[in-house]
Amino acid sequence: MFKGHPKALYALALANTGERFGYYTMLAVFALFLRANFGLDAGVASIIYSTFLGLVYFMPLFGGILADKFGYGKMVTTGISIMFIGYLLLSLPLGGDTVAMIAMLGALLFISIGTGLFKGNLQVMVGNLYDDPQYADKRDSAFSLFYMAINIGALFAPTAAVAIKNWAENSLGFSGNDAYHFSFAVACVALIISMAIYFACRQWYRHVEGGKKGDKGAAAVVEDNLTPAETKARIVALCLVFAVVIFFWMAFHQNGLTLTFFADEFTVKEAFGLQSMAFSVWNLVVVIVAVYAAFSLFQSEGSKGKLISGAVLVASVGYLIYKGMNVGDAQVAVNAPIFQQFNPFYVVALTPVSLAIFGALAKRGKEPSAPRKIAYGMLVAAIGFAIMAVGSQGLLTPNEQAEAVKAGAEVPLASANWLILTYLVLSFAELLLSPMGISFVSKVAPPKYKGMMMGGWFVATAIGNMLVAVGGLLWGGISLTVVWSVFIVLCLLSALFMFVMMKRLESATK
Q: How far is CA 208 from CA 4, 8, 14, 202, 304, in A?
A: 18, 10, 17, 10, 36
CB of 11 within 8 A of CB of 206?
A: no
Looking at the fold, whether 37 and 103 belong to one and the same domain comes out as yes
The predicted model gives 297-305 an average pLDDT of 83
Looking at the fold, whether 181 and 147 belong to one and the same domain comes out as yes
Q: How confident is the model at residue 447 (pLDDT cuts 50, 70, 90)?
A: confident
Per-residue pLDDT, 345: 92
Per-residue pLDDT, 346: 93
Residue 462 lies in a domain: yes
Q: How confident is the model at residue 215 (pLDDT cuts 50, 70, 90)?
A: very low
Residue 137 lies in a domain: yes
Q: How confident is the model at residue 219 (pLDDT cuts 50, 70, 90)?
A: very low
Looking at the fold, whether 279 and 257 belong to one and the same domain comes out as no
- Of 289, 304, 333, the one marking the end of a domain is 333
Q: How far apart are CA 190 and CA 21, in angstroms?
A: 7
Per-residue pLDDT, 224: 61
Q: Which of 93-97, 224-228, 369-373, 412-416 has the highest mean pLDDT?
A: 412-416
CA-angle at 446, arms to 444 and 451, nearest 5°: 95
The yes-or-no verdict on residue 214 having pLDDT over 60 is no
Q: How many domains does the chain have?
A: 2
Per-residue pLDDT, 250: 92
Looking at the fold, whether 146 and 256 belong to one and the same domain comes out as yes
Structural element, H or E, at residue 332 = strand 331-333
Looking at the fold, whether 311 and 435 belong to one and the same domain comes out as no
Looking at the fold, whether 404 and 325 belong to one and the same domain comes out as no
pLDDT per position as a tens digit, 259-291: 989 999 999 999 988 899 999 888 999 999 999
Q: How far apart are CA 201 and CA 210, in angstroms?
A: 16
Q: How far apart are CA 72 and CA 67, in angstroms?
A: 5
Structural element, H or E, at residue 333 = strand 331-333
pLDDT per position as a tens digit, 105-153: 999 999 999 999 998 889 888 888 888 888 877 887 888 888 888 888 8
- Of 292, 318, 333, the one marking the end of a domain is 333
Residue 471 lies in a domain: yes
Looking at the fold, whether 163 and 264 belong to one and the same domain comes out as yes
Does the predicted model carry a pTM greater than 0.85? no
- Alpha-carbon dihedral angle through residues 79, 83, 84, 86, given to the nearest 10 degrees: 150
Residue 210 lies in a domain: no
Residue 1 lies in a domain: no
CB of 253 within 8 A of CB of 31?
A: no
Per-residue pLDDT, 99: 92
CB of 451 within 8 A of CB of 72?
A: yes
CB of 349 within 8 A of CB of 148?
A: no
Total length of the chain? 510
Per-residue pLDDT, 221: 46
Looking at the fold, whether 37 and 65 belong to one and the same domain comes out as yes
Q: How far apart are CA 40 and CA 35, in angstroms?
A: 5
pLDDT per position as a tens digit, 365-408: 888 888 899 999 999 999 999 999 999 999 999 999 999 999 99
Residue 148 lies in a domain: yes
The predicted model gives 351-360 an average pLDDT of 86
- CB neighbour class for 85 (10 Å; exposed up to 12, middle 13-18, buried from 19): middle
Looking at the fold, whether 248 and 317 belong to one and the same domain comes out as no
The predicted model gives 448-475 an average pLDDT of 86
- Of 280, 309, 333, the one marking the end of a domain is 333
The dihedral sign for the CA sequence 468, 429, 10, 222: negative
Residue 323 lies in a domain: yes
Residue 344 lies in a domain: yes
User: Which comes out higher in pLDDT, residue 1 or 3?
Assistant: 3
CATH number at residue 89: 1.20.1250.20
Per-residue pLDDT, 328: 78
Looking at the fold, whether 327 and 343 belong to one and the same domain comes out as no
User: Whole domain around residue 318: which residue ranges?
Assistant: 271-333
Looking at the fold, whether 178 and 293 belong to one and the same domain comes out as no
Looking at the fold, whether 437 and 467 belong to one and the same domain comes out as yes
